[in-house]
Amino acid sequence: MLMKLTFIGAAHEVTGSCHMLQAAGKTILVDYGMEQGPDLFENPGLPLPENEVDYVLLTHAHIDHSGLLPLLVKKGFKGQIITTYATADLCNIMLRDSAHIQEFEAEWRNRKGKRAGQQAFEPLYVVQDALDAIEKLVPCQYNERIRICDGIEVRFTDVGHLLGSASIEVWITEGAVEKKIVFSGDVGNLNQPIIKNPHYTESADYVVVESTYGNRVHSTEPVDYVQELVKVLRETFDRKGNVVIPSFAVGRTQEVLYFIREIKEKNLLKEYPNFEVYLDSPLAIEATKVFTKNMKECFDEEALALINAGINPLVFPGLHASVTSDDSKMINQIEKPKVIVSASGMCDAGRIRHHLKHNLWRAESTILFVGYQAEGTLGRRILDGEKHVKIFGEPIEVHARIENLHGVSGHADMNGLLAWLEGFKTPLEQVFVVHGDDTVAEEFAATVQERLGYPAWAPFPDGEVDLAANEILSEGVRIPVKTKKAAAQKADAAFDRLIAAGRRLMEVVYKCGQISNKDKAKFEKQIHNLADKWDIYK
C-alpha cells in the first residue's frame, strides 16, 4: 500500500505551509496555509480533488499555516480539522478575519475594475466558508495520543511558538510496516513571555522541520524589555505626547499587555502611575480573550504563578478595549498622554492608520514598533525614516519620534532548531527541511547533515517521498513565480495544462510497476527523449 509524503507548500519558501501524507488508505494534510509576502516559486496546489482529503492536522493558527482551510471546505473537503483547543479558538477569530479581508479586497478591486471595464473579481473565500471551516475543527488536548482512524495515531505537543502551537507526531501502521513521522510546526524560541519553551519530541523515523532562521543565530545580548518600555513611556509622557504601538493582534499585543501590567504592578513609572492604555483592535481584543481562556494549558510557569495568585496577567487598571469604531474615534479626542495599541502590526491596514494620522505629525508623540516590518509596508517606510507619507490619500509629515523595540523572536534560531532535532533519542532515517527561504532551507539541510549526521533534504513544491522504502520519488518542481499581467494570463492557463499533463505522465509511470522490463526500458527511453527535446536549460 501507498505510504507517501508530498510537499505542497512552504517548500523552499517560508509561507503557504502544506504537506500531504497518504497512508493507511487515507489522505491527510498537515496545515493548509496561505502564501504571504514575496513569493519565489509557484505552488502547483493539491494534486487531487479537495473532497478526497480525509483529515487535516493543524500545527498552529497563523494564516500562513491555516489560511486556506476555508478554501478547502469551499471546494468540497468534508473531513475533520484536528488541532489543539487554543489553536481552534484562535482559528475561530483569525479565519473569520481573513475572510473579511478577502471580501474587502475583492470589493475594492471590483470597484476599481468596474471603472476599467474588467471582469468581476471573486474573493478567494467568504465569511460563510470560514464559518464552515471553523465547524470542522476538532480540538484535542496536548500530549494525548489519539487514534484518528485504522492505522493512524497522532499526538500534539507544545512547541512554544504561539498560543496553541504544536509539533505533531504521527504513527502509521500498515500491515507489518510501522513508521513514525513528526512535523515540527514552527519551533518557538526560548524564554518568550507568556508561553512555554518548546517541548522536545523523543522518537521518530522521519522529521519534517521548519528552517525560518536555519542560518542565523539570534543575539544573546540580554534586552530588558520592561525597562526599555518604561523609558519610552516616560520620555513621551514628559513631552505630553502619545505612545502609539502598531502591533500584531495575536501574540505580540498580548506580550505588550503582559509587560505593561508588570510596569503598573511594580510601579516602575512612578511619575505617571495611572497612565491609560487603549487597546484599539477588535481582533486583538478577541485574541486576548482566547489567551485568557487557555491560560491553564498554555501559559509558562511565570505567567501561571500570577494566575495562581489570582491575577490575570493580561489585565490592569487603566486598560480600555475599544470595540466599536466610535470607541476608536473617541481615543483621539482625549488629550491626556496615553498608550494606544492597535493593528495591523505593519500599518498597512486597520485602525492603526487613524492613530498614525493623528500622531505622526506631532513631535511630542512616539511611534513604537514592536515587531518585524516587511519591505514595502508603511511601517517599514516610517521605521526607515521617511519624512513624508500618505495615509488615506492625505500627505502627512513625520515629526514624531520613531522607536523600535524588538521583543523575543517567535522562532527558534539555528541553534534552537538543532537543539530541537537533538531532542530525538532514536536515530532519524531522514530529515525533510521546509519553511525556509530558498537558500536558507538548503543551508540548514547541509547543517543538519554535517552536525547531526542525518540525511537531510529540502524538497521543492510537489516533491515526493515513499516513507515505507525511504526513497525520494520526485525532487519537486522549481517554477519561478510569473508576474501576473493580463497578457500573461493565457500563458498561465496553458502552463497549468502543461503541468497537469506532466502529472498524468507520472501517474502512468506509477502504474507501470508490473509491465515487462523491456517495456519499462522502452518507456523510460521515450520519456528521456521527450525531456531532452524540451529541456531548454540543459
Q: In Å, how far from its chain's centre is CA 305?
A: 29
CB of 409 to Zn ion, least distance (A): 11
CB of 410 to Zn ion, least distance (A): 7
CB of 219 to Zn ion, least distance (A): 21
Q: In Å, how far from its chain's centre is CA 538?
A: 36
When the beta carbons of 62 and 261 are compared against Zn ion, the nearer one is 62
**Joined grid coordinates for residue 445:** 539541510
Q: Which helix (H) or strand (E) holds 243?
A: strand 243-246
Contacts for 3 with CB less than 8 Å, ≥ 6 apart: 22, 23, 172, 174, 177, 179, 466, 467, 468
When the beta carbons of 37 and 273 are compared against Zn ion, the nearer one is 37
For 28-60, give one letter per residue: b (16+ CB within 10 A) or e: bbbbbbbbeeeeebbbbebbeebeebbbbbbbb
CB of 162 to Zn ion, least distance (A): 6
Q: Does residue 261 bind Zn ion (CB under 5 A)?
A: no
When the beta carbons of 158 and 186 are compared against Zn ion, the nearer one is 186
When the beta carbons of 199 and 381 are compared against Zn ion, the nearer one is 199
CB of 301 to Zn ion, least distance (A): 23
When the beta carbons of 372 and 495 are compared against Zn ion, the nearer one is 372
CB of 213 to Zn ion, least distance (A): 12
Question: For residues 388 and 396, is the Cβ–Cβ distance under 8 A?
Answer: yes
When the beta carbons of 94 and 398 are compared against Zn ion, the nearer one is 94
178 three-state secondary structure: strand
Contact letters (x/-) for Zn ion, 34-73, by CB under 5 A?
Answer: ----------------------------x-----------
**Single residue of 186, 280, 442, 443 touching Zn ion by CB under 5 A:** 186
When the beta carbons of 85 and 454 are compared against Zn ion, the nearer one is 85
Question: For residues 367 and 360, is the Cβ–Cβ distance under 8 A?
Answer: yes
CB of 194 to Zn ion, least distance (A): 15
Q: Does residue 252 bind Zn ion (CB under 5 A)?
A: no
Q: Does residue 31 bind Zn ion (CB under 5 A)?
A: no
CB of 45 to Zn ion, least distance (A): 21
Q: Does residue 132 bind Zn ion (CB under 5 A)?
A: no
Order of all β-strands in the sheet with 55-57:
137-140, 80-84, 55-57, 26-30, 18-23, 4-9, 463-466, 471-474
Question: For residues 297 and 235, is the Cβ–Cβ distance under 8 A?
Answer: no
CB of 138 to Zn ion, least distance (A): 21
Read off the DSSP letter of residue 514: G
Question: For residues 337 and 241, is the Cβ–Cβ distance under 8 A?
Answer: yes
Chain residue whose CB lies nearest Zn ion: 62
When the beta carbons of 94 and 428 are compared against Zn ion, the nearer one is 94
CB of 198 to Zn ion, least distance (A): 13
Q: Say whether the peptide bond before residue 98 is cis (omega within 30 degrees of 0).
A: no
When the beta carbons of 298 and 428 are compared against Zn ion, the nearer one is 298
When the beta carbons of 70 and 188 are compared against Zn ion, the nearer one is 188
Burial class (CB in 10 A: 0-12, 13-18, 19+), 480: exposed
Question: For residues 334 and 280, is the Cβ–Cβ distance under 8 A?
Answer: no
Q: Which helix (H) or strand (E) holds 360?
A: none
Cα separation values, 520 from 439, 504, 523, Å: 36, 17, 5
CA distance 340 to 247: 10
Site stretch for Zn ion (CB under 5 A), options 88-96, 129-137, 179-187, 369-377: 179-187
Which of 84, 31, 22 lies closest to 54, judged by CA? Answer: 22
CB of 37 to Zn ion, least distance (A): 13
Q: Does residue 196 bind Zn ion (CB under 5 A)?
A: no
Q: Does residue 158 bind Zn ion (CB under 5 A)?
A: no
With CB under 5 A, what is the number of residues at the site for Zn ion?
2
Site stretch for Zn ion (CB under 5 A), options 178-186, 191-199, 311-319, 374-382: 178-186
When the beta carbons of 10 and 303 are compared against Zn ion, the nearer one is 10
Site stretch for Zn ion (CB under 5 A), options 88-96, 182-190, 284-292, 509-517: 182-190
Which of 62, 296, 34, 23 lies closest to 175, judged by CA? Answer: 23
Which of 69, 64, 62 lies closest to 15, judged by CA? Answer: 64
Site stretch for Zn ion (CB under 5 A), options 21-29, 122-130, 150-158, 185-193: 185-193
**Joined grid coordinates for residue 383:** 521605521
CB of 62 to Zn ion, least distance (A): 4
List 277's β-bridge partners, or say none: 319, 339
When the beta carbons of 159 and 263 are compared against Zn ion, the nearer one is 159
When the beta carbons of 184 and 288 are compared against Zn ion, the nearer one is 184
CB of 65 to Zn ion, least distance (A): 6
Question: For residues 203 and 171, is the Cβ–Cβ distance under 8 A?
Answer: no
Amino acid, res. 369: F
Q: Does residue 338 bind Zn ion (CB under 5 A)?
A: no
Contact letters (x/-) for Zn ion, 267-306, by CB under 5 A?
Answer: ----------------------------------------
Site stretch for Zn ion (CB under 5 A), options 68-76, 181-189, 254-262, 397-405: 181-189
Residues in touch with Zn ion (CB under 5 A): 62, 186
